[in-house]
Structure 1
Amino acid sequence: MVDMDDDELLDALGVEVVPLKASSRTPREERIIAGFEDILRFYQAHGRAPQHGEDGDIFERLYAVRLDQLRKLPEAHTLVAALDEPGLLAGAPSAAADVDALDEDALLAELGVGDVAPTEDDITVLRHVRSSVEKRAAEEVADRAPCRDFERFQPLFVRVEQELKAGVRKALRFGRDASVADGNFFIVGGQLAYVAEVGEIFKAPNGESDARLRVIYANGTESNLLRRSLQRALYKDDTGRRLSEPYMGPLFGEEAEPDDIESGTIYVLRSLSSHPFVTEHRELIHKIGVTGESVETRIAGAEKDATYLLAGVEVVATYKLHNLNRVRLEGIFHHLFGAAQLNLTIEDRFGHPVKPREWFLVPLNVIDEAVQRIRDGSITEVIYDPKSARLIDYAQTHYKDEP
């Protein structure tokens, strides 16, 4: 084989050698771009620009100051124009950051873009070593990531929002009960958060116990922040809330409330509709309601009301109750049988689509058991299982075990 040098060998292989181009940017420009890329990554992770305030973690507050300062640098607008698709630099500097009070050296120092950089062999400068403050911040702050199995948790958030609207759950100010346990729901930073897992308990450097959490957020992300970090965030957040467990409060109290009625009736109806689905499942489909008037008056004209499937109804059960809270009682039924709510759309008299509520695919004997449990106060101990069509112990089927 003929000996060839490197250039001849590459030429024989048809490989064109293109000399590497030296970067045309100065170190200062490179650092400005790198600083903005950090801000851009924050925006992509959280869907918003970093903000000032003690509620934010140390990195967000740093990025907020940096963003304000970049907005004041005309050259920065030119340098990152191609990267700034969200238009982050277009906003006005926040009043929380007194950028004008900084001279040029201080400004560049905050940005980390000082013109004079230490030499690579300067042994007096520590590199790649984080300060103790940064280390603590890194421990306290966990980056959110997409939740890969969010489909497991999404039904929980839907249910909890329904429970809040129905009054089954309450949003309580965080503080009186500062515990964080598996299965808890919180509102933090305006986001509904679910504690899916609590890791092994360990001793923090200050001697207090802590644990790593798996927290799922309603926007489809998750984080593995520390328990004490979540507690601190909830304490600092004026809107931070703990969601109570599903409990309606007293249905039969000694003192009257605005939605109380002196006496009333829980009524259960069966539809006489000729709709194919209703005809096929007539023995299972029931409407549950509460009224303070007579049931006969309540259902008068059902054939003309989409609420009653535009058909006559048959009263199959009634239960007389006294001094009850109608809103809470209806909320209990919607919470208990929500998973079995009839998903049927019909057209009203004007041809408009209507999805009637308060109709459920629940056997009559189960409704009867639910009413008895409402009376004795044990309704909060059970949930309805659509697969077996029965009430089962709530403690045996925790939310986290749902598919």
Structure 2
Amino acid sequence: MAKTFTDEDDALLAELGIEVEAKRHVSRTPREERIIAGFEEIQKFVTKHGRVPQHGEDRDIFERLYAVRLDRIRDQAECRELVVLLDSQGLLSGAYQETTGPDLDSLDDDALLAELGVEITAPAITELTHVRSTAEKKAADEVAARERCDDFATFKPLFEQVQKELNSGMRETRPFEMKAEIEKGRFFIVSGQKAYVAEKGETNINDQGRTDARLRVIFDNGTESNMLMRSLQRALNKDEAGRRITDPSAGPLFSDQTMEGDEASGTIYVLRSKSDHPVVAANRELIHKISVTNLSVEKRIAGAHLQPTFLMANVEVVATYDLYNINRTKLENLIHRIFEPARLDIEIMDRFGRPVTPREWFLVPMYAIKDAVEKIKDGSISGFVYDPKQAQLTKR
């Protein structure tokens, strides 16, 4: 049994100069913990950037997320009450004052140049205080200055495509973990900007006995840097919001590719309808329903003839693909977006005589569906679109 302190014990401890702190046990729900954690992330952003997060297409994805989160906390009384005691910055009331820069008129020449981001490269030879050590020179060599990217038009479509894939869920952002993640063709988020590793030079061993390589890194603001791999690694580790952007792969799809510890997360199923609707009857071999379920397919299609989503008719299972370690909703949305140009526009009556337009049926041959699944599997689907005229996936 745990021992509790009496009043006499407290008094004795006080005489000895030991402060007795009463511990309060506050029980919070997981939702409340998430709200508090989310508010603390907003506070970190404000502390780092000197301003509240703002909306806008020109803002990075994390700032826009924080801006939406702050709006919701402000609008909901229960959220405000939960974090009001933490709000030392006046974020809830809008009283926060953005950090202002220094008075430029009061700065000397060196300070003014530093404020403008201009490095003073040629100090007077007598100014020994400006002489850099060997370590400083090496550090300066590692962190190459950014320059204008003359061929940015080549890379701009890549950044636009990555943003689309982030919005669709094909890619995700995850905390940066190790240097081995820095490879040619990879995307990162550092200092609020997307960075693309366009080139990677020969790997060598530096003075500390660690591997390194020179990179050509392109940033989404049209600049580039010829930096060392370890410099990018340090920048990502130093940045609390530093992230790597995952490759556009949906993850392992098939049961014969699973490993011990993988968790089943659903099934892609492809159906044909046995409906006598004229459109369906005339194109039965081409009209398919493509969906994802966490149930067994047999349970999902039970009573199909009573459900508008199955065209109020029984169905035939054409193909199934087991999913492991994957977000079902995102994958289904991805598949539907791929075949959007061939979505079947058909209206049927439900059992109450009301018109319904099912959204999961597509006028697509089975070989095109199989091709799409294979490209999702190997991560190449982002480079393809479905062309109804050719009835196949074509390169963007």
When normalised by structure 1's length, the TM-score is 0.45
Larger Rg: 1
TM norm structure 2? 0.46
